[in-house]
Structure 1
Amino acid sequence: MAYIKDIEINMDALLCCLILIIVFIPSAKTQDTAVLQGDFYLAGLFQIFSDEHCTQEVDVISVRNFEAVKWTIKTLNKANYIPGLTLGLEGFPTCNVHGRALEHVTRIINRKLHNTSDTRLTPIIGLIGPEYSQEAIDTSTYISSFGENNLLLQTLFSATASSLSDGTKYQNLLRVIPEDRKQTSVIVSLMESLAWNYIGVVYENNSYGVGNYLELKKLANTRDICIAFESALSIKNGIVSSEQMKTAIQSLIFHSESRIVGLVVFASTKTAEILLNIADNLKFRLGMIFSEGSSDIGTTTLESFSIAKGAFYSSPPWLHFESFKVHWKSILTNKTIFNEEAASNPWLANVVSKFVSCNAHNESCSARENSMNFNVYEGYAILATMLNAKILKDLHRDSCGGQNGMCSEMNNTLKNSAYKLIKRGRRTHVSGENIPNDLNLPIAIQYTDMVDARVNGNKPEYEVYHFRDCVERVGEACLELVGEYNNETLHLKTELLRSYNEDGDGLAWPNILQAQCEEKKRCKSCQNVDLPSEIIFKKGDLYVAAVVPVYDKDTNDPLKCGDIRKANGWEVVEGIRFAVETANEKLGIFTNFFGSKKIGYIILNSCNQPLLIQSKLMKLFKESLKLTDGSQYSDIRKKILGFVGAYGSSISKAVASILQEYNFPQISYASTAAVLSNRTVYKYFLRTCTPDDKQALAMLNIVKTLNSSFIQIVYSEGTYGEGGRDAIVQNANKFKICIANKIEVKENHYQKIKDNLNKNPSATVVLLFLKSHVVRDVMTELHKTIKPWRYLFIGSEAFGTRMDVLADNPNLKGTITLSLQMKPLTGNSKFESYLYNRLNSIDTDINPWTKHYFEQKKSCYLAGSFDKHSGSKCSDIAEEYNDKDYQPELWTSFAINAMFALLQGSEKAFIELCGHESPSLCNRYTDKTEIEIVLEKIKAIKMVIDEKTTNSRVFDENGDGNIGYKIYQVQGSAADASTLTFVEIGRYTLDENGYSIHGKLIRDPFKMLPSECPNSVECQKCNQQISMETNSPTSKEDDGGSMVPIILGAVLGISVLALVVVSVVLCMVCRGCNRSNESLYLSPHFTNGHHPNAETEDSGYFANPLQAEGEHPQHIDMYPVRHYARQDANPNL
């Protein structure tokens, strides 16, 4: 059906016939019932009249629905559908009076219960209707209260309230029309497609309106759509007052935060007409979406209001029965047919009278122009009648065999066990087979012990119509079909969408009205204050889970979150999602991955807070997964294959303490603290990154290459920074490197770092172990406060090759950094395409943090933002991911490969422990005695993870990362010396003798090397430090252990300290302790007649430079002391 206009009957052409017919209308008491004779009856509950007296204002649509039921019964009877039996109909008018439907049902039930032995009364074996949800709730509740053996089948064709789907509460119901949850999904999908996220809702204060509003509110909340205003409209005698409606619309216009220009309406046609009239008079251009409750409003009415053009209407799919269309036209045009049908439908007379504007006997009488639409419900009324007939036909077949007419078994069922029809109905299938041609059913429905049917056929699940200028008829307006909803997806014909201004001029897509917070406004009530608490959930048969710090921590509260992270948060989340979505494609190495099962995912935001993430995990395991839309998933723990996470080492420790209690494998992608290598404490922990003890050795090797021996350490509080500090301290003595200062950095407290550094100005080489999210802030603070610039920093992998750290910090030229670089299993280009596509569908994506992330990162606002009071609109945020030179953030690739490793390893373990065909996760998988199998399967995974084209093991035997470091220096680019860039100058692999530096590439632009102790006093302190560290324990256990080694170590340390002090005193007294070259290692020392900082083409610092092919490795020392190209923790190397 292209548009509704085509299915209207123009009454002007039929006027002469109507005037003739009205003369011959027989008198009837309009409040009486209507009866079509049969061997047994269906009772129909229809509104028929809109006034409580059941005499004045006929509801043409309701009369037509009743006639549709009657016509269907007559058509089936004529075809002998139930062999030898005829179905009858008794209609009862409810007249828009609250409680009237229940009154009728009370009499029907009384007749059923107390007159079963009276053979003179035709039994009522089922109900059709009533037409409104509240009436359906009242009547079904009443019938259900009599108990199972006294139930009466009730079939609904227009009552759509979602609550009626509860078959345990409403025990006698079957429904043929889609319920309202489907409708609210369609409306939300439509708003997403239209970029509406700031709306108002008006709804009638009844079961239909309230139920739809609550469902919409719940679903809108999950899609970042804000209902900024809502109004429940009270109904009196079926009418909403104009004053009430005017107040609601003015609230939209004068809303305190921003005008609301998008409105969703859950109301009847009458209420919709009042709304259109008020809005039209107020000259307020509104975008409107009307529910199916207003679907019969008709183009003639809509054309009366200029404001109506551009409105949308959601509707169940229209079921067209052309034979009934002909039948209805015949009633209105053929006196004989009219009289025949009016005998069993006396309300037809009232319908005909509605189309005459004067006394038909008056010769001067003429009719006003009018027309009447089909309505969506009549098709479902016909379908409901066919459903009842099919149930009875199947009962006759099973009870009477091939016998015509009523048999005793069937008669007994209908009179004494009618409740059995409900059980039959909830297993019934209705299709177009073996039915009369006039009832050419366009769909098939199947019941599976539920109130609502599953629909099959060529019809969509739901439809969207748009009132606009006709596509094919110039100068007319039509309700055009613009959207079809199937499988949770709305397919919208955007090329047909239009908005209209006050002059009636149309605007085409994408320039149509968008219901959003206005420019220069802040819609504070719509901002999600619980955004950090959101969970990303994708439903699956089995699950993987992840822990990511999307937000930083609140430094004042261990259970709260701070600001959203601008790096290594959001992109890590997307990398994890990408890995799972790639596996679910079941292509390449993932062909037949977990058979037909889909892998879902759960992603939790840790906010870098140990206590917070532990609390979230315990809720997940002990309670259930609770989402913001109100849905819950219990026992989700029994479906989880494993966890990827966490980011920070202290968070991974906190997570591990929970996960290993439940026997879950855990793979971190960024936790590098050496302490996490302890498998006695962290039993089920693995990681794709390399531990910091290796990185500390790399950094100390670099210090020696720079001919320096006097350093400072700046480190973050927490496991990561403290672990890096400890690894440097424990190994520095083996390199004869002295630590002048150790400076702890607390988040958001950076002002004193400069002063602490300047306490030891001669220690110009500074090693950094800072958390990634504080590196930029710390370096920016130091850049502002250290003048003149006198330090050379060696940054850990958290600094890496991050260009954002270099931005506006030119003094960082010369800084050396380490970088862990892992290649994603799929390569960068596929992930880049994934991100590009995600951001081009940002309004429909399930990641709740995307918009906030980009707005904060780029200091702008997106179109759908609720805060537009400052800044400018964001440019195309997807475009940066459409660049062949795009490189993921540091830890993204590690997270992607961590998830790929978990997925591949867990599948192998699943097959071995549960069997490939197992529909769920078996107990063996999470059993404490079998967890080692899971870990070994994951640990054995191989991938292409670097520049090599061959597969490498992702994990070493201990479960730690198996990848080395690249070494970079910040230098001016070749094209523009003022533009900083990272230049690779060396590598540190995990192989023996794997440290190499290309010395000619090193630059020392600020001439602060070498970094050595400045005087004999400081040098002597350093010698004492090294002596003490050499004789102290070199490893630090994370947990527990015997106190005896600690006590013995302390005693030994005190003894050594005392010996050193005595020796120093003696040397100073005798003044004869002249230092040899070996003992002068930590003293200021210059050789070769010039300072090593003299101007040369390169720095002059060489240590095992990368040699050209065929050359032997060189070793050039500027000091007379011997040191190795690479030194490790083992002093024997």
Structure 2
Amino acid sequence: MIFAIEEINNSTELLPGIKLGYQIYDSCASVLVALHVAFQLSNGQDPVFYRGSNCSQSGMVRAVVGESGSSPSISMARIIGSLQIPQVSHSASCACLSDKQQFPSFFRTIPSDQFQADALAKMVKHFGWTWIGAIRSDSDYGNYGMASFLAAAKREGICVEYSESVSQADPQRKIQRVADVIRRSTAIVVVAFADTSDMRILLKELAREPLPPRQWIGSEGWITDSYFTSFSFCAGAIGVAIQQSDIPGLRDFLLDLSPSKVADSSILTEFWEDAFNCTLTERVNSNRGVCDGTEDLKTLKNSYTKISQLRMTNMVYKAVYAIAHAIHNAVCHETNLTTQCDKHFRLESKKVLSELKKVNFSQNGYPVSFDANGDPVAFYELANYQKSESGVIELVTVGYYDASLPKGQEFRINKNITWVEGRTQVPVSLCSESCPPGTRKVLQKGKPICCYDCIPCPEGEISNTTDSPGCFQCPSELWPNAERNACFPKPVEFLSFDEVLAIILATFSVIGACLAIITAVIFFHHRTTPIVRANNSELSFLLLFSLTLCFLCSLTFIGAPSEWSCMLRHTAFGIIFVLCISCVLGKTVVVLMAFKATLPGSNVMKWFGPPQQRMTVVFFTFIQVLICTVWLVLSPPFPMKNLTTYKEKIILECALGSAVGFWAVLGYIGLLAVFCFVLAVLARKLPDNFNEAKMITFSMLIFCAVWITFIPAYVSSPGKFTVAVEIFAILASSFGLILCIFAPKCFIILFNPEKNSKKYLMNKNSL
């Protein structure tokens, strides 16, 4: 401070012609002493030794630099603030001092602990630590600072396993208890928001017994103190530190001390005698010799002469210059490129206070200004304890935190960091291991949010990020993979031609069609024989043709559904089956009419001859064509993706369009089949060796049985098996018709030709 004041007093630009005076007080880091000093400064009743006669010697001071600690600064600010005396602290960083309602005249060149707390929280978050311990000084600095840090840590999703306070005034048993908490904890990272004296007490206690590896994160209150490099377990500690500075001329000023200058100050006298282990004046009962005047400060190697890492010193330097600039702005003005200052201006402290709020200058490359809360722009270095090649632990700057940069860019690391136990990998400090994609976090009951279990996502849901709080559904046409961390298109399923089931059904379809064609060829070759002519060969050939189409119709149900195939498969099936049943019905009626015609006086056959039979088939088939046409016009079948039957796959199927149309087609087929069955039952006992009614009865019995069982099977079969059931019903009923009606006749034609005669046909008693 003296160096800065003398530099200002010798300046021709800042306060030219005006000298600044000062008084220095030692508060002994005591709140009570600081209060006493505050009253003395306010009253101006201090016994002061004035070395010159140029001082105004006015009672009240114009500004105060100090205090070093937050608690003494708070006490002083409450007194001198009411008198509008500006106070600029170089070291009091408590966030509470930013409250201008309580401390209207308080300024500082050190950043507020609110910025430090944010920087520490961002650092912890940056390295992925979510489970930490917290240690603080039991003072305004530690309590307010830790409160700000815990709030910032909570915003970043960081959990605190424990939060303990320490103080050098604490009894040994409390210090020991806090040390035991650190030893037993599971958190690897310990954030210490404390000052040097309190940390010394704690680390001494921890050094008494082996300490598990702990990654220390320090506040600026202790991280730069070289004392802590003596603790081996502090190697790898990292924290925020006040920016280093270079003050030109300071070293020469410090070394420019002579015994005569030292003797004028009791503080310097004490320093000189301790540094050189001698006394400036002879004293009784002194074990030290008298200083002989050959003492040279340049030979000293202590913190006084070591100015390579000036940090807080620069804060004092900037505080003095800030006050000087405020006074300059109050009493000086520019005229014709020169600066004129009014030496006789009666300067009041409130004027200095108002000007101090507006100062904005740069000194030695370091900007100085204050925001509305009296705080400077926050800038911290990131300091890391690293072990050198010689084994000595040194403090190395590895990055910085600049609050003036855009959000997300404040935190920078530009050098490698050494971690606890000399590791190069970032230590892990988590309450629970991260949940991989495919799982979600479930909090453990009664524990912080960082303690959780990892639960696999439910069926149909995924999580694609680490530590996902929940899972989400895949879109309707997608399904999770086995790991449940991504959605993939669902497999599309339909009765494909390359499936075993489809191949079997298609094979039977072709076999049935070939069987019908072979039967037709046999019948055509033996068309003049009695067994073919006995039961209306024309209807037989039409029935064989319709059966061939029935077998081939089942092939339309195989393959991917399309708009045309969906309309074709149902309507073609309905029309062909009605054609088939109409032919069977015609043959049944022919049998009945044939025996009615044998009765005396009956001419019924002329009313049901071949033309009428053809008209009957056409009429019944036309009704089905009409039903299918109405169905196709109003609401035809269409291809659709069935997403409900199976969650994990898509079923391609034909929607009915109109269920009424579908069941009307089936119902009409069933009605004709029942009618045909009834007629066949009535004709089954008519005496005739070639009576088809028995065979038609069996065929219709099979037909009705197949389609009655088809209904529940069709409704309950899932996916492609619905189509398979439908094909099976078509094939089963078609095979029933061809085997029951035509197989016996083909057997006689091929293997019992002797029975294929008119004589055998007319022999009613031989079977």
Tell me, yes or no, if the aligned pair for 2:332 and 2:341 is still in contact at 8 Å. Answer: no
Distance 1:422 1:291 in 2: 30
Are positions 1:138 and 2:70 aligned together? no
2:356 to 400, 420, 425: 425
Alignment correspondent of 2:152: 219
Shift of 1:99: 1.8
Shift of 1:126: 0.5
Q: 5 Å matches for 1:107-118? A: 107-111=40-44
Alignment correspondent of 1:289: 217
Shift of 1:802: 1.6
Alignment correspondent of 1:769: none
| Structure 2 counterpart of 1:516, one-letter code | L
Alignment correspondent of 1:396: 331
Are positions 1:478 and 2:398 aligned together? no
Alignment correspondent of 1:29: none
Distance 1:302 1:1084 in 2: 93
Tell me, yes or no, if the aligned pair for 2:638 and 2:654 is still in contact at 8 Å. Answer: no
- TM-score calculated relative to the size of structure 2: 0.56
2:478 to 786, 801, 804: 801
Shift of 1:446: 3.0
The total of aligned residue pairs comes to: 509
| Structure 1 counterpart of 2:382, one-letter code | V
Alignment correspondent of 1:516: 430
| Structure 1 counterpart of 2:105, one-letter code | N
Alignment correspondent of 1:406: 342
2:196 to 264, 269, 278: 269
Tell me, yes or no, if the aligned pair for 1:202 and 1:264 is still in contact at 8 Å. Answer: yes
Distance 2:223 2:215 in 1: 17
Shift of 1:971: 8.9
2:271 to 340, 351, 369: 351
In terms of fraction of residues, the more helix-rich structure is: 2
SS in 2 for 1:431: strand
Tell me, yes or no, if the aligned pair for 2:18 and 2:343 is still in contact at 8 Å. Answer: no
Q: 5 Å matches for 1:678-1077? A: 799-803=476-480, 968-969=492-493, 997=639
- TM-score calculated relative to the size of structure 1: 0.39
SS in 2 for 1:247: helix
Distance 1:976 1:99, change over 3 A: farther
Shift of 1:159: 0.4
Shift of 1:530: 12
- Cα-to-partner distance string for 1:341-385 (whole Å, 9 max, x where unaligned): 663x5312323344356844189xx99996325452110100011
Q: Which runs of 5+ in 1 are unaligned?
A: 1-68, 433-440, 456-460, 501-505, 532-550, 552-561, 576-604, 609-771, 774-796, 808-856, 859-879, 881-885, 891-965, 978-982, 1013-1018, 1024-1081, 1103-1115, 1120-1133
Are positions 1:379 and 2:293 aligned together? no
Are positions 1:254 and 2:177 aligned together? no
Distance 1:484 1:310, change over 3 A: same
Shift of 1:484: 1.2
Tell me, yes or no, if the aligned pair for 2:193 and 2:219 is still in contact at 8 Å. Answer: yes
Greater Cα offset, 71-80 or 303-312: 303-312
Tell me, yes or no, if the aligned pair for 1:295 and 1:315 is still in contact at 8 Å. Answer: yes
Tell me, yes or no, if the aligned pair for 1:253 and 1:260 is still in contact at 8 Å. Answer: no
Shift of 1:400: 9.7
Tell me, yes or no, if the aligned pair for 1:183 and 1:314 is still in contact at 8 Å. Answer: yes
Distance 1:316 1:349 in 2: 30
Distance 2:127 2:636 in 1: 58
1:302 to 218, 221, 228: 228
SS in 1 for 2:44: helix
Distance 1:392 1:400, change over 3 A: farther
Shift of 1:70: 0.9
Distance 1:406 1:1083 in 2: 122
Distance 1:244 1:404 in 2: 61
| Structure 1 counterpart of 2:261, one-letter code | E
Distance 2:64 2:249 in 1: 24
Shift of 1:262: 2.2
Distance 2:495 2:148 in 1: 58
SS in 1 for 2:322: helix
Alignment correspondent of 2:127: 194
Alignment correspondent of 1:491: 412
Tell me, yes or no, if the aligned pair for 2:44 and 2:59 is still in contact at 8 Å. Answer: no
SS in 2 for 1:124: coil
Q: Which runs of 5+ in 2 are unaligned?
A: 47-54, 279-286, 435-442, 502-558, 565-633, 657-662, 668-703, 725-729, 734-767
Alignment correspondent of 1:128: 65
Alignment correspondent of 1:203: 136
Shift of 1:87: 0.8
- Cα-to-partner distance string for 1:787-832 (whole Å, 9 max, x where unaligned): xxxxxxxxxx96533246xx6xxxxxxxxxxxxxxxxxxxxxxxxx
Alignment correspondent of 1:469: 387
Alignment correspondent of 1:862: none
CA RMSD of aligned residues (A): 5.5
Alignment correspondent of 1:76: 8
Shift of 1:499: 2.4
Distance 2:79 2:127 in 1: 43
| Structure 2 counterpart of 1:430, one-letter code | F
Shift of 1:420: 2.3
Distance 1:205 1:397, change over 3 A: same
Alignment correspondent of 2:375: 452
Distance 1:244 1:356, change over 3 A: farther
Shift of 1:125: 0.6
Distance 2:415 2:383 in 1: 12
| Structure 1 counterpart of 2:230, one-letter code | S
Distance 1:563 1:110 in 2: 73
Distance 1:360 1:195 in 2: 56
Q: 5 Å matches for 1:526-545? A: 526-528=447-449
Tell me, yes or no, if the aligned pair for 1:295 and 1:375 is still in contact at 8 Å. Answer: no
Q: 5 Å matches for 1:611-630? A: none
Distance 1:106 1:997 in 2: 94
Distance 1:243 1:987 in 2: 86
- Cα-to-partner distance string for 1:516-549 (whole Å, 9 max, x where unaligned): 33889x9865432999xxxxxxxxxxxxxxxxxx
Distance 1:984 1:378 in 2: 84
Alignment correspondent of 2:87: 154
1:96 to 9, 29, 33: 29
Q: 5 Å matches for 1:8-87? A: 69-80=1-12, 81-87=14-20
| Structure 2 counterpart of 1:513, one-letter code | P
Distance 2:500 2:183 in 1: 55
Distance 1:322 1:567 in 2: 70
Tell me, yes or no, if the aligned pair for 2:29 and 2:69 is still in contact at 8 Å. Answer: no
Tell me, yes or no, if the aligned pair for 2:109 and 2:315 is still in contact at 8 Å. Answer: yes
Tell me, yes or no, if the aligned pair for 2:85 and 2:105 is still in contact at 8 Å. Answer: yes
- Cα-to-partner distance string for 1:404-425 (whole Å, 9 max, x where unaligned): 55344x32xx2xx421222221
Tell me, yes or no, if the aligned pair for 1:276 and 1:308 is still in contact at 8 Å. Answer: no
Distance 1:448 1:313, change over 3 A: closer
| Structure 2 counterpart of 1:377, one-letter code | M
Distance 1:495 1:566 in 2: 45
Alignment correspondent of 2:207: 280
- Cα-to-partner distance string for 1:218-273 (whole Å, 9 max, x where unaligned): 1111222221112122443xxx5544322101112234xxx333222222212222
| Structure 1 counterpart of 2:182, one-letter code | L
